[in-house]
Structure 1
């Protein structure tokens, strides 16, 4: 049996080549649907096994062109793809004349058995033909768009998750510098997200705040370890050095386009509501709301965890202090939202993160 293998990934083609050759088959290979069409016309294989998503011409376009050619349409066509988001791919594949849509990876012997079973069904029977309802260009494109959208959405989720994991790697590198800050960024992120939702922010802005909270202290990578771990109060000169971390962190991330909306949170999270903060002395609405939310979450976590120069101050003290500085250091509306969230969490018995 002559098998045409069509896949843009060389390792996957190699696996298929060895699988079929181990059962006495002859194999020919193409990297995309366009090459596959050329080889199919020239070599007339007994079976085509193809990936779905490929450059130049993908598997669905390849299949559609194959079935439109009277000389080639009888060749059995099987999809073998790792990209599978639901029933849409299988439905479209079958409607266009494929024998099946198999999902990678399969053990070589299982794949061989599946192929043999599919081919056995064709013995003495008619080849699979495209669904008449989807032969027209518009119905096909409509169905195909569902497949593409599903795959794009899956890819976006994968990239978002990968990006968030990379952010957490950066945070872990920062927190490895000092045991005193371990877990600080994650806790601040949890608190800031809850405040943002309480204040009615949409999920896009909530996600920006989550990222900003995770990365808000990233500039401390450039701060001397001795200052982060110092057990006595900092001198004026040392404090001036520490105060450079918001700008240092924001500037370091400027090259990452995906963080452009996050950078203001990092740069301005130590600005005070009355303009007395650092490093740009912004006040009131000039400070982005997301940065004002982050300031409250950051302040609360700092007071309810142990630092090298003092023991933890506790929740009661922290709440009293937040109320005291509302309107001067912190945005009073954000403080009020935080207190409301805290009360809700306590009523639900979920207080662990709030007590440090």
Structure 2
């Protein structure tokens, strides 16, 4: 039995020899449409198990045999084991992505006639679809689609594909170079889109954490955001590059995150803390840093969280660091934290105006705060608004609740 007789027998199609290869697609399609009991073998390639499951149920509901693969390399192996009648593939996958998989399929003399359809949620525009079609893909469909609409669309695509042979991969050097340029552009665009999505999601998660912290005490509502804004201003004034400025902002936003593990009654207590209570609250920098240790994206901001209550003269906590032993970002956050704490009314302290707050910062420079950072921030404040500098202020007593 030759290969054409075998193909026909596999699909219960009666044919006469000799059987011209291009005709078999027509014959399979016409038989498939008239006899729904005929099995069409479909190879689904997608790194998402849930997406594969949806496609599997869609095709099986119409009597198709389904084989699955989690990436292009695995898909090639499955296609080689038993030639499918149709390939449905995602575009962005590990190991071997959809475009690489398509090129491998179209370069294979045995497999290159299989209709290949992209079904992907990652789409950067017309160029992606154009490139897919130029490499032999029958279509580029966007996830998600209603199963009924998806099946109808695939039937229409297969009807068109059955009228002619699938395109083979270009072999001319110029076409090859053009493909690589187009493909590189698409891959970069996909990666940038994914990175942007992850960054947006990360920012939202951070904001949720800050909101949880704000909900613990009405007296510190908005404190983290204000400290982050002040710290960002200081970092920029000190000439840090935007990448470091962004990290300082993030570290300041999360500097008090360890207070989520602190009793609400201590944070909201109107009278002075006892020594035992004070020690509990003082543990928040270490608790916050430890809680975030497993998040790789925060590795650069964890020292800011741990050391933002260290004092310039070494009398702070938790490790009694001093001078340059304290990370610059933590010294910046300490100044920003102090300023916000003394300019907002708390149960145990009336807010200072800007002039008196500046006087307090000057008084604390060299002991509690880095004098260089204080100088930069005061200059920024003085340039930002007209302030009354006549006030003398009162001695600054740091309270770990702020």
Range of TM-score over shorter length:
0.7 to 0.9
1:111-144 Cα distance to aligned partner (Å, 9 max, x none) = 3444344445445445323233479887756654
**Change in 2 beyond 3 A, CA 1:244/1:55:** closer
Instruction: Measure, in 2, the Cα distance between the counterparts of 1:270 and 1:292.
Output: 9
2:223 aligned residue (184, 192, 196): 184
Range moving further from structure 2, 141-150 or 227-236: 141-150
Instruction: Measure, in 1, the Cα distance between the counterparts of 2:118 and 2:52.
Output: 13
Note the C-alpha offset of 1:93: 2.2
Note the C-alpha offset of 1:105: 1.0
State the match for 2:348 in structure 1: 309
- TM-score, length of structure 1 as denominator length: 0.81
State the match for 1:61 in structure 2: 100
**Change in 2 beyond 3 A, CA 1:43/1:25:** farther
1:83-128 Cα distance to aligned partner (Å, 9 max, x none) = 3345564344233211232221122344344434444544544532
State the match for 2:207 in structure 1: 168
**May I ask how many residue pairs the two structures share in their alignment?**
346
**Change in 2 beyond 3 A, CA 1:256/1:74:** closer
Instruction: Measure, in 1, the Cα distance between the counterparts of 2:81 and 2:319.
Output: 70
Note the C-alpha offset of 1:48: 2.0
Instruction: Measure, in 2, the Cα distance between the counterparts of 1:176 and 1:138.
Output: 57
Instruction: Measure, in 1, the Cα distance between the counterparts of 2:279 and 2:84.
Output: 74
State the match for 2:288 in structure 1: 249
CA contact (8 A) 1:5 1:13 kept: yes
State the match for 1:209 in structure 2: 248
Instruction: Measure, in 1, the Cα distance between the counterparts of 2:74 and 2:292.
Output: 43
**2:67 paired with 1:12:** no
**Change in 2 beyond 3 A, CA 1:88/1:133:** farther
State the 4+ residue runs in structure 1 displaced beyond 6 angstroms. Answer: 134-139
State the match for 1:29 in structure 2: 67
1:330 aligned residue (369, 374, 382): 369
State the match for 1:81 in structure 2: 120
Query: What secondary structure, in the 3-state scheme, does the structure 1 residue paired with 2:212 have?
Result: helix
Instruction: Measure, in 2, the Cα distance between the counterparts of 1:246 and 1:275.
Output: 16
Query: What secondary structure, in the 3-state scheme, does the structure 2 residue paired with 1:169 have?
Result: helix
Instruction: Measure, in 1, the Cα distance between the counterparts of 2:87 and 2:184.
Output: 24
Range moving further from structure 2, 211-220 or 154-163: 154-163
**Change in 2 beyond 3 A, CA 1:87/1:200:** farther
State the match for 1:99 in structure 2: 138
Range moving further from structure 2, 3-12 or 338-347: 338-347
CA contact (8 A) 1:9 1:31 kept: no
Range moving further from structure 2, 208-217 or 31-40: 31-40
Unaligned runs of 5+ in 1: 348-356
State the match for 1:350 in structure 2: none
State the match for 2:197 in structure 1: 158
Who wins on radius of gyration, i.e. which is larger? Answer: 2
State the match for 1:353 in structure 2: none
CA contact (8 A) 2:129 2:140 kept: yes
State the match for 2:307 in structure 1: 268
Note the C-alpha offset of 1:251: 3.9
Unaligned runs of 5+ in 2: 1-31, 33-39, 387-402
- TM-score, length of structure 2 as denominator length: 0.73
CA contact (8 A) 1:94 1:130 kept: no
1:3-31 Cα distance to aligned partner (Å, 9 max, x none) = 43333434323332444456x46242222
**Change in 2 beyond 3 A, CA 1:314/1:54:** same
**Change in 2 beyond 3 A, CA 1:237/1:156:** same
**Change in 2 beyond 3 A, CA 1:121/1:134:** farther
2:334 aligned residue (287, 290, 295): 295
Instruction: Measure, in 2, the Cα distance between the counterparts of 1:345 and 1:75.
Output: 68
State the match for 1:128 in structure 2: 167
Instruction: Measure, in 1, the Cα distance between the counterparts of 2:284 and 2:367.
Output: 22
